[in-house]
Amino acid sequence: MAHDPYQILAHPFSLEGYAVIITGAGGAIGGATAHVLAQAGANVVVSDLNLENAEKVAAAVQKATGRETLAVRTDVTSETEQQALVDATLKKFGKITALINNVGWGEYTPLWDVSMDYMMKSYLLNTVSAYNLSKLCMPHLKKQENASITISGSAVGSTPSPEFISYSNAKAALLHMSKSIAMLSGPEVRCNAIVIGSVDNGEATLKAGYDEAMLKRLADAFVLKRRGTPFDIAYAFNYLLSPAAAWVTGIHLHVDGGGSYKSKMPTAD
Ligand SMILES: NC(=O)c1ccc[n+]([C@@H]2O[C@H](COP(=O)([O-])OP(=O)(O)OC[C@H]3O[C@@H](n4cnc5c(N)ncnc54)[C@H](O)[C@@H]3O)[C@@H](O)[C@H]2O)c1
């Protein structure tokens, strides 16, 4: 039954009774999110291209929280595998309360140095996959109270980023799409995005073209003087899925240590 928005909720961030699909949940942010959402009461579907990592996360989450989990190997660029993910979720939990489109990847791709084929692959992985999985989940989400889709956006998708042209274009499109989904999916389903700043995900950022000295300079430029942890992002997902955010749709929530704020006055150094 829908909660009365004039009554204070006893547990505003509780996800009790939710069944949540998280893509890319074998990785840093998705894995931490699976833990945090399960701790808040959700049953979680841990989906990843890498089944071994998905199974590890699912087992650890179940052990730590006592919640039900399901590990599914999914390549989100395949429509057939996306459908299999939806079917497996419905078979195990009988519903989908929330979808977190979290898969994403991008590396150093300077402007004018990228093939058409690579641009298309990046768009398929980062944007089209989220479009299609959202489409497949929508009829099931519409049946649930406070249902939502949440997207892992990126700071490079909200500012010009010519060093990451394929990834930043794809993430910009993804952020734009989240608002379009929000417009037509209400009032039943909310859709929001988190604009994620630089988060420590181990090797993955180094593979994307950064080195430790660059990451130190990046952290020093943030207002809060450190890169994020996967949990910094996971808590934001918890909020956006929860009853506390029942009146929140179509937003881009920046979680970036103040990385998007730079002084307008140039300094000597
Ligand atoms: N870490 C950061 O600094 C940062 C910053 C901004 C945005 N993001 C975004 O946050 C999300 C999660 O990033 P992360 O740091 O946890 O990365 P990560 O590399 O740790 O995890 C990504 C996961 O996605 C999986 N994956 C890759 N291709 C896939 C496919 N085709 N199908 C299914 N799964 C696939 C990988 O196996 C991996 O487990 C991504 O969308 C990323 O673009 C991350």
Find out if CATH 3.40.50.150 is the number for domain 19-198+206-253: no
On the question of pLDDT at 253 being above 90, the answer is: yes
Measured in Å, residue 2 CA sits from the centre of ligand 1 at 34
Residue range 106-126: mean pLDDT, rounded: 96
Determine the pLDDT at residue 1: 62
Determine the pLDDT at residue 204: 87
Rounded percentage of the chain residues whose pLDDT exceeds 90 = 89
Measured in Å, residue 27 CA sits from the centre of ligand 1 at 6
Alpha helix ranges (H) inside 66-198: 79-93, 116-123, 129-141, 165-185
Neighbours of 3 (CB within 10 A): 13
Question: Is the CB of residue 259 below 6 angstroms from any atom belonging to ligand 1?
Answer: no
Question: Is the CB of residue 196 below 6 angstroms from any atom belonging to ligand 1?
Answer: yes
Its pTM surpasses 0.95: yes
Measured in Å, residue 244 CA sits from the centre of ligand 1 at 27
Relative to the CA of 126, which ligand 1 atom is closest? 41
Measured in Å, residue 201 CA sits from the centre of ligand 1 at 9
Strand partners, 47: 23, 72
Strand partners, 193: 151, 252
Q: List the single range of 16-25, 164-173, 217-226 with lowest mean pLDDT.
A: 217-226
Distance between CA atoms of 20 and 144, rounded to whole angstroms? 12
Question: Is the CB of residue 77 below 6 angstroms from any atom belonging to ligand 1?
Answer: yes
Q: What is the pLDDT of residues 56-111, one digit of tens each?
A: 999 999 999 999 999 999 999 999 999 999 999 999 999 999 999 999 999 999 99
Determine the pLDDT at residue 43: 98
3-state SS, residue 236 = helix
Q: Residue holding tokens 């959402």?
A: 37
On the question of pLDDT at 2 being above 90, the answer is: no
The residue whose C-alpha atom lies closest to atom 1 belonging to ligand 1 is 199
Question: Is the CB of residue 49 below 6 angstroms from any atom belonging to ligand 1?
Answer: yes
Q: What is the pLDDT of residues 37-51, one digit of tens each?
A: 999 999 999 999 999
